[in-house]
């Protein structure tokens, strides 16, 4: 099976490529390796996939030195001609679009980046799929689309037209755009609404990663909304299993070419509890600075995963302490602590 993975140098994309390679898929990954966060982490992920820094910065398709079934090319989703040419040449059976400008708070500071990457970029992927129809297009949506609702748990069928950040609005737009292409061009599409993904090789802009950096350096962590936030933390391995189950499902059995699913642990955890778990695994007590609620943040995320269970007999199940332990183990090794 031939699979294109966009955002292959990203947190989720990297882990997905690893699994697809291990399952003998022929994988073509691409990423623009932007500097939204430390690019050394992105190069490190690619190095694990057998792509060195020189290869990662090449605009030609480069073969992995470690895996015969993996190739990578540096490419921006906004490059419509480049994306279309790549699809024309590779002819993927499956496409998993994980490339996006991430981050809720950053969308307040730099909104144009989200329109360029998440709207224009996703449009280019849809057009490439229209010209080279895959068996299935799977793409990253987000729990953020539910807004700051108090109707929990979040159900896929619930009304979600009141986002509170531009990031969330672009993800909702992706779902609407995918629906149009499924309807007009008979492309099977599935959006996956991820809930606060964490784990080894994670993103440094995420709270658990930033907290770890500050805690080990003896600096204060900012605890938003006085610690009253709750998140449905979902371990990376659970996310990858969910993506794999959905991607390779027999879409011919579906009554609707367009689908969305939540992928979350189905168990929200208070921010203070999360911090306590991180402190325990690091063996260091954090210096806490309690600050007010931040614009764009929601008070709670909580995934209803009944659709995932019904259609795939699957739900995320990794316990927080186990997941944080795996992250801390990786963190210590990567940063030589």
At residue 298, the pLDDT reads 82
Question: Is there a domain that residue 271 lies in?
Answer: no
List pLDDT tens digits, range 52-70.
Answer: 999 999 989 999 999 999 9
**Mean of pLDDT values over 189-216:** 97
Question: Is there a domain that residue 223 lies in?
Answer: no
Question: Is there a domain that residue 111 lies in?
Answer: yes
Average pLDDT value for the chain: 95
| HEC per residue, the chain | CEEEEECCCCHHHHHHHHHHHHCCCEEEEEECCCCCCCHHHHHHHHHHCCCCHHHHCCCCCEECCCCCCEEEEECCCCCHHHHHHHHHHHCCCEEEECCCCCCCCHHHHCHHHHHHHHHHHHHHHHHHHHHCCCCEEEEEEEHHHHCCCCCCCECCCCCCCCCCCHHHHHHHHHHHHHHHHHHHHCCCEEEEEECCEECCCCCCCCHHHHHHHHHHCCCEEEEEHHHCCEECCEEHHHHHHHHHHHHCCCHHHCCCCEEEEEECCCCCEEHHHHHHHHHHHHCCCCEEEEECCCCCCCCECCECCHHHHHHHCCCCCCCHHHHHHHHHHHHHHHCCC
List pLDDT tens digits, range 220-241.
Answer: 999 988 888 899 999 999 999 9
**Mean of pLDDT values over 177-187:** 98
pTM over 0.85: yes
At residue 126, the pLDDT reads 98
At residue 177, the pLDDT reads 98
Question: Is there a domain that residue 214 lies in?
Answer: no
At residue 276, the pLDDT reads 96
Which residues span the domain enclosing 17?
2-196+235-265+303-318
Question: Is there a domain that residue 218 lies in?
Answer: no
At residue 226, the pLDDT reads 81
List pLDDT tens digits, range 66-118.
Answer: 999 999 999 999 999 999 999 999 999 999 999 999 988 889 899 999 999 99
Question: Is there a domain that residue 222 lies in?
Answer: no
At residue 104, the pLDDT reads 85
Active site residue 167: yes
Q: Which of 146, 167, 198, 235 is catalytic?
A: 167
Question: Is there a domain that residue 202 lies in?
Answer: no
Domain count along the chain:
1
**Mean of pLDDT values over 155-170:** 94
Q: What is the CATH number of the domain that holds 181?
A: 3.40.50.720
Question: Is there a domain that residue 220 lies in?
Answer: no
List pLDDT tens digits, range 283-335.
Answer: 999 999 998 877 777 889 999 999 999 999 999 999 999 999 999 999 999 99
């Amino acid at each position: 099976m031939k699979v294109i993975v966009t955002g292959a140098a990203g947190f989720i994309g990297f882990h997905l490529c690893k699994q697809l390679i291990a399952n003998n898929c022929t994988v073509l990954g691409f990423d623009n390796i932007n500097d939204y966060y430390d690019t050394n982490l992105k190069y490190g992920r690619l190095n694990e996939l057998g792509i060195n820094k020189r290869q990662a910065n090449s605009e030609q398709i480069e073969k992995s030195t470690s895996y015969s079934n993996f190739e990578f090319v540096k490419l921006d989703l906004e490059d419509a001609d480049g994306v279309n040419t790549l699809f024309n040449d590779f002819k993927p059976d499956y496409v998993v679009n994980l490339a996006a400008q991430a981050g809720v708070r950053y969308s307040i500071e730099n909104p144009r980046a989200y329109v360029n990457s998440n709207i224009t970029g996703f449009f280019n992927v849809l057009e490439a799929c229209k010209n080279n129809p895959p068996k299935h297009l799977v793409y990253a949506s987000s729990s953020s689309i539910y807004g700051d609702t108090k109707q929990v748990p979040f159900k896929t069928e619930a009304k979600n037209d009141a986002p509170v950040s531009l990031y969330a609005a672009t993800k909702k737009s992706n779902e609407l755009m995918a629906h149009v292409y499924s309807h007009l061009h008979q492309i099977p599409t599935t959006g996956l609404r991820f809930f606060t993904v964490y784990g080894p090789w994670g993103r440094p802009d995420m709270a658990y990663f930033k907290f770890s950096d500050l805690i080990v350096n003896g600096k204060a962590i900012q605890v938003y909304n006085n610690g009253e936030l709750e998140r449905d933390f979902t371990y990376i391995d659970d996310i990858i299993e969910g993506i794999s189950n959905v991607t390779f499902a027999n879409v011919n059995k579906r009554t609707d070419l367009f689908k969305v699913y939540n992928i979350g642990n189905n168990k929200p955890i208070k921010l203070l509890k999360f911090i306590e778990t991180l402190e325990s695994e690091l063996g260091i007590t954090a210096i806490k600075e309690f600050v007010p609620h931040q614009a764009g943040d929601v008070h709670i995320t909580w995934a209803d995963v009944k659709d995932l269970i019904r259609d795939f007999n699957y739900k995320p199940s990794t316990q927080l302490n186990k997941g944080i332990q795996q992250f801390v183990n990786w963190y210590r090794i990567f940063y030589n602590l």
